[in-house]
Chains A and B, each alone.
Chain A
Amino acid sequence: MSERVLAALKQKFAADVLLTHSQFGDDTAVVAPSSWKAVCTFLRSDPEMGFDMFVDLCGVDYPTRDPRVEVVLHLRSMVHGHRVRVKTSVGDEDLDGCEVDSVTSLWPGADWFEREVYDLVGVHFRGHPDLRRILMYPEFEGHPLLKDYPADRTQPLIPYRTEAEAGLPLEKLAPFGRDEGMPFGRGLTKPAALASGHDDHAMKHGDN
């Protein structure tokens, strides 16, 4: 049913729809960042499409790709009951040009979701009314969901107590060592090895 959506998108935005697929039954269109707003407007306002419910927006970081950050939008139509996923990729290695148009004017519900993507992945949304951090505190530097942000790098707001102050040892014993057990800290530099899944030792010592 919603293959119609992909067909209509391809017809209307011929060159800007870079790729479509329906893997696992989820219809997906990858569009050029320049036509992000136009595609969304079409999906929202065209009666055949009727995507009146904004479901989800998230960012995925692929450090090996260029452009690097993928913005993924999920929509649902309350009238027709169909769903679609729209994706676009923005930003180079240093996150320059990592920005797309905001869709808050189409779906007010997108407000916080865009703030979250900005907060965790670092995508700027042009035209967002109030783009500031939402989950992290304003003093936080960097974007934690980027693959090159180390999972255990904390930025405390207040200094921790020293052991002299407390009068007892405060060191927390980590449940596991950095590269212990599971292949934690995947090797981002070797995606081919990851796909084959055999080269465990190469994966173990990544940049995590």
Chain B
Amino acid sequence: MGELKQVTLDASESSGFATTKLDALLGWARKWSLFKYPFVTACCGMEFMAVTSPRFDGTARFGAEAPRFSPRQSDLLWVVGTISQRQAPVLKRIYEQMMEPKWVLAFGTCASCGGFYDNYTTVPGIDKIIPCDVYIPGCPPRPEAVIDGLMLLQDKIARGDKTPGIVKPREDPASLVKLRLSKDSGQ
């Protein structure tokens, strides 16, 4: 709810103020009312079910619950699972049917980069076909990571940021190792 405060009128602002604040309001509205189109193909679909189900409740809490199975009514495309060369034209067509503004979330390693299916039939990442906003690594990602990804996307929508982002571990395992090593050497 923090963003709403920015919309309050402020007389001391310059004349450019109306549009930027309108953008903020729009961003705020959009980030809490994402209509999803689940493009579910593979294993990640099992975790996708888990994300939407009661234990994690990872979509309803963020206003992204309502699924729309018509691309024309949805603004967030979840690409869940491996995209094969055969599937690629279908995905592209779905994406093109969606109305602006639209966002794409690559759920899992296969959608992000093809994963360990480095072969004749798999598209090495959906960004070869369509633009992608948030990549969630994991094979399949844990629901917590998916929620992180959704929140990252919400931040991007609110800021109007169109550069792609990747969900990273909250703690970088490499830094932990380094810490331990330095501690060991100190002793």
Judge A-B direct contact (beta carbons within 8 Å): yes
Show the binding face of A for B, using Cβ within 8 Å. Answer: 136-137, 144, 149-158, 160-161, 166, 168, 170, 172, 174-175
Instruction: Point out the residue from B88, B120, B127 that lies within 8 Å of A152, measured CB to CB.
Output: B120
Question: B92: CB under 8 A from chain A?
Answer: yes
Q: How far is the CA of A71 from the CA of B113 in the complex (A)?
A: 35
Query: Nearest Cβ distance between residue B41 and chain A, in whole angstroms?
Result: 14
| Cβ contact within 8 Å between A154 and B129 | no
Q: How far is the CA of A155 from the CA of B85 in the complex (A)?
A: 8
| Cβ contact within 8 Å between A158 and B119 | no
Residue interface bits B97-118, CB-to-A below 8 A is 1, else 0? 0000000000000000110101
A156 / chain B contacts, CB cutoff of 8 Å: 85, 88, 123
Chain A: which residue is nearest B122 at the CB level? Answer: A154
Query: Nearest Cβ distance between residue B6 and chain A, in whole angstroms?
Result: 29
Query: Nearest Cβ distance between residue B113 and chain A, in whole angstroms?
Result: 5
Q: How far is the CA of A81 from the CA of B125 in the complex (A)?
A: 46
Chain A facing B: main interface SS: loop
| Cβ contact within 8 Å between B85 and A154 | yes
B88 / chain A contacts, CB cutoff of 8 Å: 156-158
Instruction: Point out the residue from A149, A166, A168, A174 that lies within 8 Å of B118, measured CB to CB.
Output: A174
| Cβ contact within 8 Å between B124 and A157 | no
Q: How far is the CA of A162 from the CA of B84 in the complex (A)?
A: 19
B123 / chain A contacts, CB cutoff of 8 Å: 156
How many interface contacts (CB-CB < 8 Å) are there between A and B?
A: 54
27 A-B residue pairs with Cβ-Cβ distance under 8 Å, sorted by A, are A136-B121, A144-B121, A150-B120, A151-B120, A152-B119, A152-B120, A153-B120, A154-B85, A154-B120, A154-B121, A155-B120, A156-B88, A156-B123, A157-B86, A157-B88, A157-B89, A158-B89, A160-B128, A161-B127, A161-B128, A161-B130, A168-B164, A170-B125, A172-B125, A174-B118, A175-B116, A175-B118
Show the binding face of B for A, using Cβ within 8 Å. Answer: 85-86, 88-89, 92, 113-114, 116, 118-125, 127-131, 163-164
Q: How far is the CA of A20 from the CA of B127 in the complex (A)?
A: 52
Additional 6 contacts, C-beta under 8 A, given A157-B89, A172-B124: A137-B86, A144-B120, A152-B120, A157-B85, A172-B114, A174-B118
Q: How far is the CA of A144 from the CA of B84 in the complex (A)?
A: 14
| Cβ contact within 8 Å between B127 and A170 | yes
Q: How far is the CA of A121 from the CA of B116 in the complex (A)?
A: 23
**Which 8 A/B pairs are nearest by Cβ-Cβ distance?**
A172-B124, A160-B128, A137-B86, A151-B119, A144-B120, A172-B113, A158-B89, A157-B89
| Cβ contact within 8 Å between A152 and B118 | yes
Query: Nearest Cβ distance between residue B83 and chain A, in whole angstroms?
Result: 11
| Cβ contact within 8 Å between A170 and B128 | yes
Q: How far is the CA of A156 from the CA of B164 in the complex (A)?
A: 24
| Cβ contact within 8 Å between B129 and A161 | yes
| Cβ contact within 8 Å between B131 and A166 | yes
A160 / chain B contacts, CB cutoff of 8 Å: 128-129
Query: Nearest Cβ distance between residue B162 and chain A, in whole angstroms?
Result: 10
